[in-house]
Amino acid sequence: CCCRCCWNGPYYCECLFERLCHDDADNILRMNMWTIFASKENVAMYRVMVIVHLAITIPVRWLAAETHNLGHHRWLPRSMGRVVDVLEAACAKIVDGNVDILDEKFMMNLFSVFRLEMVEFDEFLTFKFEKQKRKDAGKSSEK
């Protein structure tokens, strides 16, 4: 949801603004929604939510979903506790001010320890964030 709101935010604002201009009736809810969507704080929140989704949610969901296939790497359901430990350490660095959440290198390498341990995880992240990104960029340049 956060990705859709971030990418479609300008369209939401434009649509709400048009409705506000063309409707004679005052609509407090619509006016407040337009104000919220257009606020810098909201845009900043969407950006942070996208970073969390890409850097944390996608890798953790893959690890949780593939746990039953990773037994040959000695990865068991209780191994997800290691993921929580890595996240806790990363959050502590961010809260202490040692690292910025906007640091792409730091955020995208949170799970580098697991990439070294599990080839499948490394292949997934490589595909998701490098090969797929290049493929998508090629499509947009063809238009």
**DSSP per-residue letters across 28-67:** HHHHHHHHHHH-HHHHHHHHHHHHHIIIIIHHHHHHHHTG
pLDDT in tens, 124-139: 999 988 876 665 555 5
pLDDT in tens, 59-83: 999 999 999 999 899 898 999 999 9
Provide the whole-model pTM. 0.69
Which residues have CB under 8 Å from 58's CB, separation 6+?
128
The 3-state DSSP class for residue 89 equals helix
Measured distance CA(27)–CA(68) in Å, rounded: 52
CB atoms within 10 A of CB 141: 7
